[in-house]
Amino acid sequence: MRYSEFLKSGQYLISEIKTLAETGNKYWFSADTMRFFKSRVSELCWKIKDEIYFISSEKQPNYNRLYTVRLCSSNGEIHTINEFQEYKNINEARHRIKRILEKRINDLE
């Protein structure tokens, strides 16, 4: 899959993730939590089967904003893929999701 195709395959599912998270992880997207961690969530998300991958970023005092790949499962639980704040920029995180999706697609075939 080319990177341009990968980007086009992203779906705007933040609202779906937020709805799912209300049951499995109800504080994850709360305004207080997002403000405390200075969190942002990328609007571009990727869904395969019942898994939705997305990117969050957080900024700690005196540090640069860093990015984390997340997985929202069908029960609304949100999991960190690999390490928290593992990526220096959003493109690194997107490349990681691209590799995950390629592997999942190959596993399903």
pLDDT at 90: 95
Residue-level pLDDT at 44 = 86
As a whole number of Å, the end-to-end CA separation of the chain is 15
Distances in Å between the Cα of 34 and the Cα atoms of 13, 49, 56, 106 are 18, 27, 10, 35
Which tens digit of pLDDT belongs to each residue from 2-60?
Answer: 777 877 777 767 888 888 888 777 788 888 989 998 999 998 889 888 889 999 999 98
Q: Which residues contact 54 (CB under 8 A, 6 or more apart)?
A: 13, 14, 17, 41, 42, 44, 45, 46, 69, 70, 72
| pTM metric for this prediction | 0.87
Helix, strand or coil, per DSSP, at residue 63? coil
Q: Where are the domains of the chain?
A: 3-108
DSSP E strand boundaries for the chain: 40-41, 46-48, 51-58, 66-72, 78-81
Task: Write down the pLDDT at residue 93.
Answer: 97
